[in-house]
Amino acid sequence: MDITDRAAVAKFASDAIAIYGYVDSIINNAGIIQPFIKMNDLQFETIEKIINVNLYGTLNITKSFLPHLLTRPEAHIVNVSSMGGFLPVPGQTIYCATKAAVKLMTEGLYAELMETNVKVSIVFPGAMQTNIMANSGIENRQARGESSSMKALLPSKAAEVIVKGIEKNKLRIFVGSDSKMMDFLVRLNPIFAGKLIYKQMKTLLS
């Protein structure tokens, strides 16, 4: 399903509820990154695609299922953001903007649903062993430029961390020691954190 197609998403939600009888939780995990180039060189077509998938895709799924979730005895919404949702990453400015938007949208939703049966969590993954580069159409040349110092987490381990966070009704779920560390560092000294991530990522910039 194309999550940017609002009508298709609404139909999917209706069909899922009709087939299974109920839905108790949703996890908005779909997302794409941008080519590792500066915003000045990024085409609007690419910008719009990233916004449509990362932000509107999450919004479409959430809005389609939320009315039903509110009828359930207990329900949960999980939205996946990124370290880029709280940390500026050069060459990923638009991606970071969408993930920051997902972060604040989720936190706002958490506040709105505080006195309801629907719990809300926001996930901040660090380096992960996923196919996000290939799925985003990023060239292998850029992928090979990734720092070998990054210890990417297995998806199975990430899933375990996320499920445990859901069970504990955590608002913020950090996946990976790098995510936890950078969250602490960016709050302690945002300028130093920004310079640190720039040094690690600048070789990827086209």
Query: What's the pLDDT tens digit per position in 120-169?
Result: 999 999 887 766 666 556 664 444 444 444 578 888 999 999 999 999 99
64 compared with 143, residue with greater pLDDT: 64
Q: Please calculate the CA angle 154-16-29 and round it to the nearest 5 degrees.
A: 25
Task: Tell whether the model's pLDDT for residue 62 goes beyond 50.
Answer: yes
Name the DSSP letter for residue 1.
Answer: -
Long-range CB contacts (< 8 A, 24+ apart) of 160-167? Answer: 162/27, 162/78, 162/121, 162/123, 165/121, 165/123, 166/25, 166/76, 166/78, 166/119, 166/121
Give SS3 for 6: helix
The confidence band for 60, taking pLDDT boundaries of 50, 70 and 90, is very high
Q: What share of the chain is helix, strand, coil (3-state, %, to 5)?
A: 55, 10, 35
What pLDDT was estimated at residue 205?
75
Which domains are delineated in the chain?
A: 26-61+72-204 (3.40.50.720)
What pLDDT was estimated at residue 201?
81
Question: Which percentage of the chain shows pLDDT scores above 70?
Answer: 89
What pLDDT was estimated at residue 147?
43
What pLDDT was estimated at residue 136?
59
Sign of CA dihedral 160, 165, 169, 173: negative
The confidence band for 42, taking pLDDT boundaries of 50, 70 and 90, is very high
- Among 22, 95, 110, 198, the active-site one is 95
> Mind listing the pLDDT tens digit for each residue in 88-119?
999 999 999 999 999 999 999 999 999 999 99
φ, ψ dihedrals at 27, nearest 5°: -125, 110
Structure tokens at 171: 């608002």
φ, ψ dihedrals at 126, nearest 5°: -90, -145
What pLDDT was estimated at residue 95?
96
Structure tokens at 53: 């998938």
Give SS3 for 132: helix
- Specify the range with the lowest mean pLDDT, choosing from 53-62, 100-109, 140-149, 176-185: 140-149
Task: Look up 56 and say whether it is catalytic.
Answer: no
Residue 119 CA, chain-centre distance (Å), reads 17
What pLDDT was estimated at residue 114?
96
Q: Which residues pair with 75 in a beta bridge?
A: 118
Structure tokens at 108: 């706002």
Q: Angle formed by the axes of helices 190-201 and 177-188, to 10°?
A: 130
Q: CB-based contacts of 183: which residues, under 8 Å, 6+ apart?
A: 83, 86, 124, 174
Mean pLDDT value across residues 195-199: 90
